[in-house]
Structure 1
Amino acid sequence: MPDEEQRVSVSVTDGIADVRLNRPEKRNALDPAMFAALVEAGERLRSDVGVRVVVLSGEGPDFCAGLDFTSFRAMTAGERLSASAQLPPSDGPAKATGQRAAYVWAELPVPVIAAVHGNALGGGLQITLGADIRIVAPDARLSVMEINWGLVPDMTGTQLLPELVGRDVAKELTYTGRVVSGEEAAALGLCTRTDPDPRTAALALAAEIAARSPHAVRASKRLLDLAGRVDLEAGFAAEQKEIGALIGSPNQVEAVTARFEKRAPNFEDGR
């Protein structure tokens, strides 16, 4: 078990990084140490060429219940505790600490699967938006809860949520702060699918993805993340660049050879 003071635990097995928010006694609530640990874990994994998939989940009864109550109390005095997290500057689009804690998962070159159980509220929900895939327990509780505290979602939620559920649904959820179940989240597009044991399901899916060519998977993520964010000409050109780099490469040859030989492929890691 990880040290109890370690806010985020990370272990890597067979190319799968198992990342767990590790503050169960506080329902994995976000404090400066948790923000910093999330960013640091994501940054560390981004440069690990042996990682093929990431599974992001929470220890204890919840994925993440949102911002620590101490932070809300500090806000009444105009303080923003998340800003006290000690982090190196970011060269990506997310600059604020909370934004980086959520968006660092979107910046990983490999797929990230969030496994959500219990509460994923406010900032906890926004962390899941950085994942590529969200598997959620049917009875999980998800909410864009900031309005209840007189706030707006400021951890990428206003920009990423509409991509998933549409602008009108994003507005309804944000204006009301209402809680939705995992089942409703799936119906709205807020999650990919439900499963009564989301972490086990996420790890099984991760193993399936990790068995594919890591170069093709990374290229697929790059292309799919461009969709809707660049014009078609740029997107189509990116497709051709990626396919040109893959055809005849060692892992592509191995994929074809293994398929014809009816055996499991043996892919090389790396970028």
Structure 2
Amino acid sequence: MSEQRVTIAVEDGVADVRLTRADKMNAIDPAMFQGIVDAIAELEAMPGLRAVVLSGEGRAFCAGLDMASMATGGSGIDIHTRTYGPANIVQQVAWGWRGLPVPVIAAVHGVAFGGGLQIASGADVRIAAPDTRLSVMEIKWGIVPDMAGFALWRGNVRDDVLRELAYTAREFGAEEAQAFGFVTRLAGDPHAEAMALARAIAGRNPQAVRAAKRLAGHEGDAAAILMAESLEQAALLRTPNQMEAVMANMQKRAPVFSD
């Protein structure tokens, strides 16, 4: 991974992923872009993975773009080429979390500004400390959110609220963020809460969890979603892990699932 901008520690199927540029509040420079993309690729290919927790070391989750670094070393980033399916490399650092087959929980503290907010928005669930500050920051620099933010916020954040914030770069707190839909819930120790949630998810049928994530991200009309539900269910019924879930519940014991 590039200059150790990101670390991954895995235990019992849960990956603890951390942005590690703490001296710069995990601001995004070219090496951070590459480090996050590399981490997502590593997780995507990781056998036995069941859930991911994403956080930032130090005083903040992520302060957004390191404007000085991008001005000197980031001008060569190609935003036109779709290198990662529908996304370019800039979008992949946020969109890629949504594309992972397993749930991702973001533990947010300090600040999540601009690109940092977009990275957190790629997670399935976002748990924030009560004193976290957030902003759709890009208009401050005369640009627009371009790290998949609008695609990720659709369906979570009310349209008029998103417009106001994108037009103004106004900072807002964690309680507002929860009301707006940027944050799922608040916790005094968001990383501990995220890890507890990830471990709970890891204790469920991994095939069913992955199927639920696919259904949650389905973008078809109602008829397509109804058909997708049926197909996912048919693929799960009477499989060894599904039967193990039933037996474990009936026998009041912890299930033992296979990957």
- Per-residue deviation, residues 68-126 of structure 1 (Å, max 9, x unmatched): 1314645xxxx8536179xx97341112x210111110100000000000010000000
Report if aligned partners of 2:95, 2:152 keep a CA contact under 8 Å in 1.
no
Residue segments in structure 2 that go unaligned for 5+ positions in a row: none
Shift of the 27–91 alpha-carbon distance from structure 1 to 2, 3 Å rule, reads: closer
Q: Secondary structure at the match of 2:166?
A: helix
Instruction: Give the 4+ runs in structure 1 shifted more than 2 A.
Output: 71-74, 79-82, 88-91
Question: Do the aligned residues in 2 keep the contact of 1:4 with 1:22 (CA within 8 Å)?
Answer: no
What secondary structure sits across from 1:168 in the alignment?
helix
TM-score, normalised on structure 1?
0.91
Contact 1:126/1:157, CA 8 A, preserved across alignment: yes
1:188-209 alpha-carbon deviations (Å, 9 max, x no partner)? 1111000111000000111111
Equivalent position amino acid for 2:33 in 1? F
Q: How does 1:232-271 map to 2 (within 5 A)?
A: 232-269=222-259
2:127 — aligned with what? 135
SS at match of 2:107: strand
Tell me if structure 2 keeps the 8 A contact 1:32–1:82: no
The answer as to 2:245 corresponding to 1:218 is: no
Shift of 1:164: 1.2
| TM-score in terms of structure 2 length | 0.95
For residue 45 of structure 1, what is the aligned residue in structure 2? 43
- Aligned partners of 2:29 and 2:74 also within 8 Å: no
Q: 1:129 to 1:82 in 2, by over 3 A?
A: farther
Partner deviation per Cα, 1:203-232 (whole Å, 9 max, x = no partner) = 011111110010000000000111xx2111
1:180 aligns with 2:172: yes
**For structure 1, which segment, 64-73 or 235-244, has the greater mean C-alpha deviation from structure 2 after superposition?**
64-73
Corresponding pairs, count: 258
CA deviations 1:151-185 (Å, max 9, x no partner) are: 10000112222321121111111001011111111
Identity of aligned residues (%): 54
The reply to whether residue 107 of structure 1 matches residue 95 of structure 2 is no
For 2:142 and 2:100, the matched residues in 1 are separated by 32
Q: Deviations over 1:112-151 (max 9, x none)?
A: 0000000100000000111000000111011000000001
Residues 163 and 178 from structure 1, CA distance in 2 versus in 1: closer, same or farther, beyond 3 angstroms?
same
Q: Find the counterpart in structure 2 of residue 16 from structure 1.
A: 14
* Secondary structure of 2:217 counterpart: helix
2:154 & 2:238 partners in 1: Cα distance? 39
Q: What one-letter code is carried by the residue in structure 2 that aligns with 1:83?
A: I
Indicate how the Cα distance of structure 1 residues 195 and 14 shifts in structure 2: closer, same or farther if over 3 A, else same: same
Distance in 2 between the 1:82 and 1:49 partners? 34
Within 5 Å, which residues of 2 pair with 1:49-198?
49-71=47-69, 73-74=71-72, 80-81=74-75, 83=77, 90-95=83-88, 97-198=89-190
CA contact (8 A) 2:177 2:183 kept: yes
- Give me the whole-angstrom Cα distance separating, in 1, the residues matched to 2:92 and 2:76: 11
Q: Structure 1's 89 and 231: CA in aligned 2 closer, same or farther, altered over 3 A?
A: closer
Q: Which amino acid in 1 is paired with 2:241?
A: N
Cα contact 1:82–1:98 (8 A) shared by 2: no
